[in-house]
A and B are shown apart, each in its own frame.
Chain A
Amino acid sequence: MRVTTFRMFIALAAVAAVVSIAGATATGTTAIKERHEAMEDIGQAMKALAAIAKKEAPFDAGVVKASAETIANLLEKAADLFPDGSDKGDVETWAKAEIWTDRENFNKDLQSAHAAAVEMQSVTDEAAFGAALGAVGNGCKTCHDKYRRPKQ
């Protein structure tokens, strides 16, 4: 009887462990997918802005404002897209460990990128656009340089 109870305990513990590992992976996977989507959306908005900067599209204050809003909104919630335990999952992530070991600086860098995007929402003329886009771009670069693993 005693042995059976013990065996049952072991089995339950094993099941619990498997469930909790699976749970952690699921959290990671969900967060990774979510942040990849957010980054894709930011990338799309950046593309619209870059087209204006490259003179492939005419300057349009409406497009600038809408794109800047998209970027600012996504960056505002970006910190939540890197919860503890989402450094790995079932899909590949290029997020570096520093995000979780140096959370304070990571959040600070995210905030400055966010501030630059907010700033760009009030750009109404082409003269101010270049500098505003440069500031947003620097925000992207600063974080990616430090916190994203380089890939082929």
Chain B
Amino acid sequence: MAFAAVLLAAVFLFFGLTTARPSGRVVPTHTPDLANGETLFHAGGCIGCHKPSSGTGDPGLPTGGASFPTPIGTFYPGNLTPDLDTGIGRWTAPQFLEAMTEGVSPDGRHYFPAFPYTSYRNMWVEDLLDLHAYLMSLPPARSSQRDPDVAMIGLARRTMGLWKRLAFRVQGFRLDPDRSAAWNRGAYLVQAPGHCGECHTPRNAIMIAADARRLAGGPHPGGEGEVPNLRDLLGRGRYKDVSDLTLALQFGETFGYDKLSSGGMAEVQMNLARLPETDLRAISEYLLSLR
């Protein structure tokens, strides 16, 4: 009897703790800047995961379809074009913000953090609105949507509610007034839209990023090989200076920087190459400052 009561309480507690609740965020009035939205689209490399499977559809449109293997299962990232039925065409701006910052879908389900909202939740709200407007300006394209191949998906999805309670830090990017504007821009691009830490920061046993070892590298999430450490790149002689790393981010292996093309980094680099040079210099300034 007592056991049943405890079990019942545990079930209630689990459901209580894992039910997605609206954040109640107030969306500011904002005139969208599509060009900024496009920059953020490339900074995030959205197309990298949301691309169509090879040989189908326009490879430049984020219709989803391609598979994304992770240690917990294979994901099939969704359609980010404004198609009404298979894309985000019916999403409101607040729903988009909820997905990007809370990892909650318009129908109130938790997304798995393979969708790196843990980083995106640090983006400026204006940037998120610009990105939303940019995605809504893309040509709508239908695509087939598929649930992830994850064991016990219903339970696993709810458990993400608990995981978020542990993994989420205070939301938002904090400017460092002692650093230059470029450094802050670089830090923001790396930590928020760029979500570099999702692979370059090691995780603990329950897959939470170890903040103390930010960008220190670790095992590749795909299961094979090592993600390089981004700390002390200067001291370790990896790059000469900000200009050198900027060239590496712009051209990668084409200019002989062969460290930038394994494990998916070539694709990341080619997306980053579409950012304005000032942004790439900012990223370089921030990265080279890490000790």
Please report A residues at the B interface, Cβ cutoff 8 Å.
Answer: 43, 46-47, 50, 53-54, 94, 96, 133-134, 136-138, 140-142, 144-145, 148-152
Contacts and interface: CB of A to CB of B under 8 A. Distances in A.
A148 B256 CA distance: 16
B139 interface: no
Given A137-B251, A150-B220, A144 B266 contact: yes
B228 A152 contact: yes
A145 B262 contact: yes
A151 B226 contact: yes
Interface string B256-284: 10100111111101100000000000000
Interface string B219-232: 01000111111000
Interface of B: 217, 220, 224-229, 247, 251-256, 258, 261-267, 269-270
Contacts, number: 76
B254 A144 contact: no
B253 A144 contact: yes
Given A43-B258, A53-B251, A142-B266, 17 more contacts: A50-B254, A94-B262, A137-B251, A137-B254, A138-B254, A140-B254, A140-B261, A141-B252, A141-B254, A141-B269, A144-B253, A144-B266, A145-B266, A150-B265, A151-B225, A151-B262, A152-B229
A47 B256 contact: yes
21 contacts: A53-B255, A54-B247, A54-B255, A96-B224, A133-B254, A136-B254, A137-B254, A141-B254, A141-B269, A144-B253, A144-B258, A144-B261, A144-B262, A145-B267, A148-B261, A148-B263, A149-B225, A150-B224, A151-B225, A152-B228, A152-B229
Contacts of B226: 150-152
Contacts of A46: 253, 256
A136 B226 CA distance: 26
B262 A150 contact: yes
A83 to B, nearest CB: 21
B236 to A, nearest CB: 10
B244 to A, nearest CB: 10
A133 B263 CA distance: 22
A138 B224 CA distance: 22
For the complex of A and B, 4 pairs with smallest distance between CB atoms = A137-B254, A150-B263, A149-B225, A141-B266
B224 A149 contact: yes
Nearest to B260: A141
Contact of A43 (B225, B256, B265): B256
Contacts of A47: 256
Nearest to A135: B254
Contacts of B269: 141
Contact of B228 (A54, A137, A141, A150): A150
A98 to B, nearest CB: 10
